[in-house]
Amino acid sequence: MEVVYLAKKARIETVVLDKCGSAPALNLADEARAIDVVHDRAKARKIFADCDAVIPANENLETLTVLTEMFKTMDVPLIFDMNAYSISSSKTRSNEFMRGVGVPLPRMWPECGFPVVVKPSGESGSVGVTRATNSDELVAGMDRVRQLNDEIVVQEFLDGPSISVEVIADGEDAVPLVTTEIFLDDGYDCKMVESPWEDETEEVEKAISDAGRRMAIDLGLRGIMDVEAIVSGGVPRILEIDARIPSQTPAAVFHSHDINIISMLTDMAINGKLPSPPKERARTAYYEHVAVDGGIMRSSGEGSFAGVRSPRIVRGLFGSDEMITDYEPGKKNWRATIINTGATACDARIKREKVLQAIIDSEGIERYDDPSPEGCI
């Protein structure tokens, strides 16, 4: 959905293919097709042939493999790097790669001691992630990963700001973009992005940017990679890398810096031009998800927002800069991605609070929940 959103901002015409006919992105696209590219390859190939570039915005390995093979015999650029993705999609392989590069990582179990984070190697985002403070919780977390038929990764739990940076690369050189702060819900799913990170220091910004650039070059990355880290003791310790189009952060970066990652990637794919480093920020942006169910509003991760149906882009709703939402007056159950900006972080925060209060007052919200992971403030 964010890819289509940013393409609209860049005035790029979009056609979205999705095997699910109710996928949110279909409603925002200029042209929508309910097609399973794995089973309808000829039909999909015909559509792709009329495009200037194609971006896979999913993590389905079968689909990505089919696309990679298909585009080897097409003149249209595929903005995706399967070699880099095969490393980043496994936390075990990516940890081995990052140790080889020499970037700072969380310590591994058992040398780290409790508390720890238990997570599956191959799942995306917050799926299967738990925090353990003792042996019983550790065993329970490991059992949960086994139920997913995945490899277990156990690392020290670091309590500090969660930050992220996107890196765009052309196979030889790489450009890190804007450092953002990621706010998680109680399921370790991203509920809000602040762009740029308000408490950023030159030392931390340089450390994560240098690490991202070094990793992208060592990977030979062609495309985009997301680097996530926890800042502990003034050092960004890299949690994971994802060589795919990230969600949420690119839209936040667009509203804070006027940097359109989709425009950059398509220009690089078509013209071979690696983008320039980002300019100084103009403002601060908050990009967040909320779910309203009856009289309860909850700040929620993107997993909850995935239930949105027929979303549309609405400017100024409840005083926000913009919302992507299926809200209608009188509707009791709806979802929204809310975008608020301000000249400073304080200004953006005040606007955000006013927008949330306007929803509460207008929609008769009885309770607003804003959960965070256990052990985090």
Residue 377 predicted with pLDDT over 60: no
State the pLDDT confidence band at 281, using cuts at 50, 70 and 90: low
State the pLDDT confidence band at 374, using cuts at 50, 70 and 90: low
pLDDT reported for residue 125: 64
Top-ranked range on mean pLDDT: pick from 109-113, 130-134, 274-278, 365-369 = 365-369
Domains of the chain, first to last: 2-78 (3.40.50.720), 85-102+159-271 (3.30.470.20), 116-156 (no CATH), 284-369 (no CATH)
pLDDT reported for residue 376: 46
Q: What is the mean pLDDT of residues 215-234?
A: 96
% of the chain surpassing 70 pLDDT: 97
Q: What is the pLDDT of residues 64-112, one digit of tens each?
A: 999 999 999 999 999 999 999 999 999 999 999 999 999 999 999 999 9
Q: Name which of 20-24, 162-166, 173-177, 297-301 the model is least confident about.
A: 20-24
% of the chain surpassing 90 pLDDT: 86
Distance, CA of 119 to CA of 144 (rounded, Å): 9
Residue 178 predicted with pLDDT over 50: yes
Question: In the beta sheet, which residues pair with residue 335?
Answer: 291
Q: 115, 146 in Cβ contact below 8 A?
A: no
pLDDT reported for residue 251: 97
Distance, CA of 118 to CA of 109 (rounded, Å): 10
pLDDT reported for residue 373: 78
pTM (global) more than 0.85: yes
How high is the mean pLDDT of the chain? 93
Q: What is the mean pLDDT of residues 310-325?
A: 96
Residue 237 predicted with pLDDT over 60: yes
Distance, CA of 121 to CA of 108 (rounded, Å): 13
Q: What is the mean pLDDT of residues 222-234?
A: 96
Q: 196, 281 in Cβ contact below 8 A?
A: yes
Q: Which residues of 262-271 are buried (b: 16+ CB within 10 A; e: fewer)?
A: bbbbbbbbee
